[in-house]
């Protein structure tokens, strides 16, 4: 017997909470729904568009009772894009949402009952991103467009101006699309796997007048490239380097392995906490420069490091936080699995004249085991792992090595909670401070201080 097609229906509902990704939690009978653009205590007419087991999906037709925390989003395509899912929530509300999110996640996943500090915010909470990377495609009417992928799709929402990205990058991207049209350089077609430019990556320095443009192409060379670069330099004189990155693979990974410098040195420089850092196309460098300084200064302050301390900077990237900490301690050792990042880190140490820091390429877990076997004991470990968190080997080694303090910097509360649950067998969690690095979005960075239990007796 054929299943009857689902028929959408409406009901009057009330939002009782926000999910981890900022969607409104609404109940209908025994079902729970996650609805965009509705805030706690708001009432609305809601259309149920799909039901799956004990969940339903739908949309707000009309808000009938507004929250006092609701504000008008600055972005005209806010509802379509989905990149800034909290723009309808006041900034005070956003900060509290992130604090509560960290606290509840630590409790639910890590069984960690701690009063999380107030979220450290920024003003103004807009136009903070120093890096954009946008896909470039041909629209149905033949226009070259760039933008963001709509949530859960590969459809591009065209973006001309973004309220969280650097305004200069918007202008440069517009110029690139105009030049593509002028020189008949086709954007990449994912389905047919033809065309030239797949993505455009733009990075700008906060402290220096330097801008990098990376053209991610499907091919090694393309007609009109030299004239394209010449015109781009002329029309956008703030650009200090242009790099072509070649990625011909059928993949969601944006950057390929091969690069060619088309103009300038192939990198830009920026400053953090008084130190200068070289940033290449593949360098990991936090996207919010002002809040990165707050993040690192807060982390180092929490660690309360001493001049006699030996510090391990695990997952060190291009060496940012380790180099900032180095002037306060005896020595810093940084370890990072990405070879290009280690090269950048060593160059950054040389650039800043810092001699009490060493960088090594390798797995953080294996590295600390080796150093432990050599009798080298770290007083403080600063760890800033990727979104997936740390691995059990590294965490187990930390438990055996017993540094006096661990400062864990995390961009994902769920993996943070999972890892802290493991470390809490030997460590007391003293403080958790959320830092708003990604205003208008549901993402949050968190700094946690862990101190070895009975450290004085050990």
Distant-in-sequence, close-in-space partners of 7: CB < 8 Å, separation ≥ 6: none
CATH 2.40.50.140 fits 9-70, yes or no: yes
Buried b (16+ CB within 10 A) or exposed e, 440-455: bbbbbbbbbbbbbeee
Instruction: Give the DSSP letter string of 166-231.
Output: -HHHHHHHHHHHHHHHHTT-PBPBTTTTB-SEEEEEEEE-SSSS-EEEEEEESSS--TTHHHHHHH
Using CA atoms in the order 255, 256, 261, 262, what is the torsion angle rounded to 10 degrees? -80
CA nearest 367: which of 398, 335, 331, 393?
335
How far is the C-alpha of 352 from the C-alpha of 273, rounded, in Å?
A: 12
Return the pLDDT at 458. 46
The pLDDT of residue 1 is 55
With a CB cutoff of 8 Å and minimum separation 6, the contacts of 351 are 276, 277, 278
Distances in Å between the Cα of 87 and the Cα atoms of 41, 96, 296 are: 17, 14, 26
Fold assignment, 95-123+288-457:
Rossmann fold (3.40.50)
The residue among 214, 203, 195, 198 whose CA lies nearest residue 251 is: 198
- C-beta separation of 454 from 307 below 8 A: no
Q: Return the structure tokens found at 103.
A: 């606290």
H or E element in which residue 324 lies: helix 320-326
Q: Determine the pLDDT at residue 76.
A: 79
Q: What is the pLDDT along the chain (458 residues), one digit of tens a residue?
A: 566 778 899 999 999 999 999 999 999 999 999 999 999 999 999 999 989 888 999 999 999 999 999 999 988 788 777 778 899 999 999 999 999 999 999 999 999 999 999 999 999 999 999 999 999 999 888 899 988 877 666 778 888 888 898 889 999 999 999 999 999 999 998 888 889 999 999 999 999 999 999 999 999 999 899 999 999 999 999 999 999 999 998 888 889 999 999 999 999 999 999 999 999 898 888 899 999 999 999 999 999 999 999 999 999 999 999 999 999 999 999 999 988 889 999 999 999 999 999 999 998 888 988 888 898 999 999 999 999 999 888 999 899 899 999 999 999 999 999 999 999 999 999 999 999 999 999 999 999 999 999 755 44
Catalytic option among 75, 81, 162, 411: 411
What is d(CA 365, CA 419) in angstroms, rounded to the nearest whole number?
14
- β-pairing, 144-149 vs 156-158, is antiparallel
Beta bridge partners of 76: none
Q: For 92-141, what is each residue's pLDDT tens digit?
A: 999 999 999 999 999 999 999 999 999 999 999 999 999 999 999 998 88
CATH architecture designation of domain 131-272: Beta Barrel (2.40)
| pTM of the predicted structure, to 2 decimals | 0.91
**Per-residue pLDDT tens digits for 128-178:** 999 999 999 998 888 999 888 776 667 788 888 888 988 899 999 999 999
Domain boundaries, the chain: 9-70, 95-123+288-457, 131-272
Task: Give yes or no on whether 9-70 and 131-272 have one common fold.
Answer: yes
Euclidean distance between the first and the last CA atom of the chain, given in angstroms as a whole number: 71
Q: Is 411 a catalytic residue?
A: yes
């Amino acid at each position: 017997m054929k299943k009857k097609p689902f028929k959408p229906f409406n009901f009057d509902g009330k939002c009782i909470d926000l999910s981890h990704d900022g969607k409104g939690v609404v109940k209908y009978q025994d079902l729970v729904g996650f609805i965009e653009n509705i805030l706690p205590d708001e009432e609305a007419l809601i259309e149920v568009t799909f039901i799956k087991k004990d969940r339903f999906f739908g949309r707000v037709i009309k808000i009938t009772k507004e929250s006092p925390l609701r504000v008008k989003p600055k972005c005209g395509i806010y509802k379509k894009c989905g990149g800034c899912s909290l723009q309808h929530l006041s900034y005070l509300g956003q900060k509290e949402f992130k604090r509560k999110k960290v606290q509840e996640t630590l409790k639910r996943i890590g069984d960690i009952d701690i009063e999380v500090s107030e979220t450290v915010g920024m003003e103004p909470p807009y136009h903070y991103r120093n890096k954009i990377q946008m896909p470039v495609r041909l629209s149905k009417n033949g226009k070259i467009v760039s933008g963001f992928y709509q949530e859960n799709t590969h459809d591009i929402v065209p973006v001309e101006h973004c309220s969280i990205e650097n305004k200069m990058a918007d202008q440069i991207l517009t110029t690139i699309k105009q030049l593509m049209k002028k020189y008949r350089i086709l954007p990449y077609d994912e389905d047919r796997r033809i065309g030239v430019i797949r993505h455009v990556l733009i990075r700008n320095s906060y402290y220096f007048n330097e801008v990098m443009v990376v053209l991610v192409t499907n091919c090694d060379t393309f007609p009109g490239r030299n004239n394209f670069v010449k015109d781009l330099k002329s029309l956008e004189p703030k650009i200090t380097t242009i790099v072509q990155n070649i990625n011909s693979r059928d993949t969601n990974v944006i950057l390929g392995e091969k690069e060619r410098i088309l103009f300038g040195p192939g990198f830009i420089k920026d400053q953090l906490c008084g130190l200068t850092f070289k940033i290449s196309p593949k360098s990991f460098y936090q996207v919010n420069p002002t809040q990165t300084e707050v993040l690192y200064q807060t982390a180092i302050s929490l660690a309360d490091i001493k001049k006699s301390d030996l510090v391990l900077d695990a997952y060190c990237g291009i060496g940012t936080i380790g180099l900032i900490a180095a002037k306060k301690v005896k020595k810093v050792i940084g370890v990072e699995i990405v070879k290009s990042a280690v090269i950048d880190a060593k160059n950054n140490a040389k650039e800043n004249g810092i001699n009490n820091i060493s960088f090594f390429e390798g797995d953080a877990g294996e590295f600390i085991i080796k150093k432990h076997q050599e009798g080298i004991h770290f007083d403080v470990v600063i760890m800033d792992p990727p979104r997936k968190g740390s691995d059990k080997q590294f965490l187990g080694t930390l438990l055996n090595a017993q540094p006096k303090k661990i400062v864990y910097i995390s961009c994902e509360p769920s993996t943070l909670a999972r890892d802290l649950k493991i470390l809490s067998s030997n460590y007391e969690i003293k403080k958790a401070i959320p830092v708003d690095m990604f205003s208008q979005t549901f993402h949050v960075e968190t700094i946690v201080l862990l101190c070895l239990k009975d450290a004085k007796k050990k």
